[in-house]
Amino acid sequence: MNPTDTPVTTPRPRLLPWLLRLHRPGLAVWAALVAVLTLTLLAMWGPLGDAAADGWRQYRACVGDGPCGYDQDAIIRYRDVYTYTTFAVIGLPFLVAAWAGAALVGREMESGTAHLAWTTGLSPTRWLAAKLAAPAALVAVGTGLLVLLHHLAWSANRNRIDTSKSWHDSPTLHANGPTTVALALAGLAAGALAGLLWRRTLPALVAGLGFTVVLRVAADLAMPHLWPTVTRVTGLDTGYVMEGVEVDSGLVTAHGAHIADPGCGPTFVEGCAEMYAKLDATGFYREYHPESHYWPLQLTTTALLLAVAAGLTVTAFALLRRSTATTRTPSPTPTPDPAPTREEAAV
């Protein structure tokens, strides 16, 4: 090699333009989805909610048995739009997980695009960091905006529309708070890890989506136990007071013990008073979370989901580092020239 020759180096790809060009379809779909849901939630907060509230005001003003005119279509329209929009918002984490497993990582591992990027001077660790950083920011901003607008629309109409969902209704509870944002980030990390594990598009999609579903169910089960409950005792002739997120319920005995409820009902039901007398029961108890526990429940569950997302991300980087380290071939060591023979030395 001529010492004056300069070595030819392959330029490193510019990360942001490369990512935008590579995932342009997914970015377009995400932007369109966020835009449509934003406009829908603004309509619920404004004209749709106002029309439904007027319809309920007309309905409550009806008296007597005569014909009553009220805007039933506005009431039904708001109810349907609220239901569909709420499920769309809480469904975003599963969409993110499926996309991350299939398109973000799984397809690139299967097609060899990831290995091609690594040969252009982009290390595997930097490749994965770039893969996760930009989508994580877009997912956090998009879901955060939609959750905020959903909470504002629900809060503006909860006392005006008779069919408004309660704060502890499960879809409303998650669509109104940061647990959906945290679950979306966990879904992104789960999809990326699934793509690195299976290295194929369809299995990574199914695995990332399935793990996010399991995580959502686990979060729902854990949420009521992440904050101390409030216990309320009512008389045997009253029954339970159904409000808030229930954790446990049953009968209270004369000695203060909590026992299982046989399910008979209040004492005015035939035979129930005699049954409770045999059990030495004096009332019903119910352990639950009132509305004042809304933010403690939201924040503790969000922290738990973010911890899981961080654990999945660390696991993905460790897996990538280990898998790429085993595939690297060590650089060949130079072989020394053989010693000259006697004949070659004599010459």
State how far the Cα of 160 lies from the Cα of 180, in Å rounded to an integer.
26
Token pair belonging to 199? 């290295």
Token pair belonging to 263? 């399910």
Token pair belonging to 272? 């129930």
Q: DSSP of 297-331, one letter per residue?
A: HHHHHHHHHHHHHHHHHHHHHHHHHHHHHHHPPPP
Strand partners, 285: 233, 250
Question: Residue 15's pLDDT is what?
Answer: 55
Question: Residue 337's pLDDT is what?
Answer: 54
State how far the Cα of 23 lies from the Cα of 28, in Å rounded to an integer.
9
State how far the Cα of 53 lies from the Cα of 59, in Å rounded to an integer.
10
Question: Residue 302's pLDDT is what?
Answer: 97
Q: Quick one: which of 207, 203, 210 has its CA closest to 107?
A: 203
Question: Residue 114's pLDDT is what?
Answer: 77
How far apart, in Å, are the Cα atoms of 99 and each of 206, 208, 256?
10, 9, 53
Question: Residue 20's pLDDT is what?
Answer: 61
Token pair belonging to 246? 């229930």
Coil, helix or strand for 10? coil
Q: Decide: 249 and 242 in contact? Cβ < 8 Å.
A: no
How far apart, in Å, are the Cα atoms of 199 and each of 202, 223, 275, 311?
9, 33, 62, 20
Q: Quick one: which of 304, 79, 78, 295 has its CA closest to 173?
A: 295
Q: Dihedral sign, CA of 185, 90, 230, 291?
A: positive
Question: Residue 330's pLDDT is what?
Answer: 45
Domain coordinates in residue numbering, the chain: 15-60+71-227+293-322, 230-292
State how far the Cα of 175 lies from the Cα of 144, in Å rounded to an integer.
10
Token pair belonging to 110? 């299967």
pTM of the model: 0.84
Q: Quick one: which of 248, 89, 307 has its CA closest to 177?
A: 89
State the 10-residue block means of pLDDT for the chain, 347 residues long: 48 56 79 96 96 91 73 93 97 95 85 79 84 91 97 95 93 96 96 92 93 96 95 88 89 91 87 90 93 96 97 94 65 51 49
Q: DSSP of 158-180, one letter per residue?
A: TTT-TTPPPTT-HHHHHHTSTHH
Alpha helices in the chain (DSSP H): 15-22, 24-45, 47-60, 72-99, 107-111, 113-118, 124-157, 170-175, 179-198, 201-222, 272-279, 294-327, 342-346
State how far the Cα of 345 lies from the Cα of 146, in Å rounded to an integer.
84
The single-letter code of the amino acid at 88 is A
